[in-house]
Amino acid sequence: MALLEVNDLKTHFRTDDGIVKAVDGVSFSIEKGQTLGIVGESGSGKSVTCLTIMGLNSRVNTISSGAALWKGKDLLKMSTRQLRSVRGDDIAMIFQDPMTSLNPVKSIGAQLIEAILLHRDVSKKQAKARALELLKAVGIPRPERRIDDYPHQFSGGMRQRVMIAMALINDPDLLIADEPTTALDVTTQAQILNLMTKLQADFGSAIIMITHDLGVIAEIADEVVVMYAARVAEQAPIDNLFRRPHHPYTWGLLGSLPRLDTDVERLIQIQGQPPSLLNPPKGCRFHPRCPYVMEICKMTEPDLLPVSHDPEHFQRCHLDEDTKDREAAKLTHMGDAA
């Protein structure tokens, strides 16, 4: 049984302008100790997917359907109490902006200890020892002196380390990281990614890494889900995806990635804007921006189907194999990244 199996997940928000279908039929699964990358541009529904799994969307205007089976039990059908015991214990989450994700008036020690005491029946002293252990593991220098400091006394990178420590403190089976490096500068990004890879080896947690950066995905993921306009565009094991990307949107993402080993005048850019989810385009959702658009793309939406010679690779595109071979070949050097 998969650790987490998401089936046809839909999250719709009621707004004054109508219903925004932020996630519209997303399925994937993740095994123990595995890393799944979810990639897509802003507004493609990747964060909402994970917030829905965690039950963290505002209850007032959200309609969710489908299933998110956690070790066989549906998270979407759990009571608040059951869900609370899963959150922060079995599934933990790291957020995008470490500057605002920690409570400014509580010491980081107090926030770490709170995370333990919510789930474990241990003394405050034991909890503090565990907090120190984790701060050390995430590379905070002299943790016994920093544990009583407040968030404003830490830099962005250090705060994200604290967030990671807080997420891992109860040894979760799954860690959801929602763009954990986006708000950090480039050198710090690399440090945080290395730290996460190292900790994954030590703690054995599975990771869902949400990002808009295929470079990050190449670095740490085993399996990739490419999301576009609330749906999965392409889904494959990492090597397969980088060896032979099938969807023009994935090509666009790869083409817009700066690389050291090729000399490109200008990065290729995906034309246009992501569609409004209030009123998504008919047919293939990518067709208004797709350079290979055909008549059929405007009429019918392609299904997410396995690639003929690569059954673990799923894609949602009408293009014929020959065209795909030709176009994807232009990007083959991307295979090196994986």
**Binding-site ranges for another protein (CB under 8 A):** 54, 56, 84-89, 92-93, 95, 97, 100-107, 114-115, 118-119, 150, 152-153, 163, 166
The nearer residue to another protein, 149 or 222, going by C-beta atoms, is 149
Give me the least distance between CB of 216 and another protein, in Å please.
21
Q: Is 50 helix (H, G, I), strand (E, B) or coil?
A: helix
Nearer to another protein, 103 or 273 (CB): 103
CB atoms closer than 10 angstroms to residue 233:
27
Closest separation in Å from C-beta 102 to another protein: 6
**Shortest approach of another protein to residue 272 CB, angstroms?**
31
- Residue (101 or 315) nearer to another protein, CB: 101
Q: Which of 188, 110, 94 is nearest to 149 (CA)?
A: 110
Contacts of 192 (CB under 8 A, 6+ apart): 157, 160, 161, 164, 180, 181, 184
Name the residue among 9, 7, 2, 172 with its Cα closest to residue 71.
Answer: 2
CB nearer to another protein: pick between 163 and 290 = 163
Sheet containing strand 62-70, strands side by side: 18-30, 4-15, 62-70, 73-74
Supply the minimum distance, in Å, between the C-beta of residue 52 and another protein. 13
Minimum CB separation of residue 196 from another protein in Å reads 17
Q: How far is the CB of 100 from another protein (least distance, A)?
A: 4
Q: Which is nearer to another protein, 159 or 244 (CB)?
A: 159
CB-CB contact of 134 with 169 (8 Å): yes
Q: Which of 179, 36, 35, 43 is nearest to 98 (CA)?
A: 179
Quickly tell me which residue has 């079995």 as its tokens: 90
Nearest-approach distance from CB 232 to another protein, in angstroms: 24
Question: Taking phi first (over 0 means left), then psi (-120 to 50 degrees means alpha), and beta for anything else, what does residue 229 get?
Answer: left
CA angle centred on 137, ends 168 and 104, rounded to 5°: 65
Which C-beta is closer to another protein: that of 99 or that of 294? 99
Closer to another protein at the Cβ: 134 or 163? 163
Q: Are strands 206-211 and 35-39 parallel, antiparallel or unpaired?
A: parallel
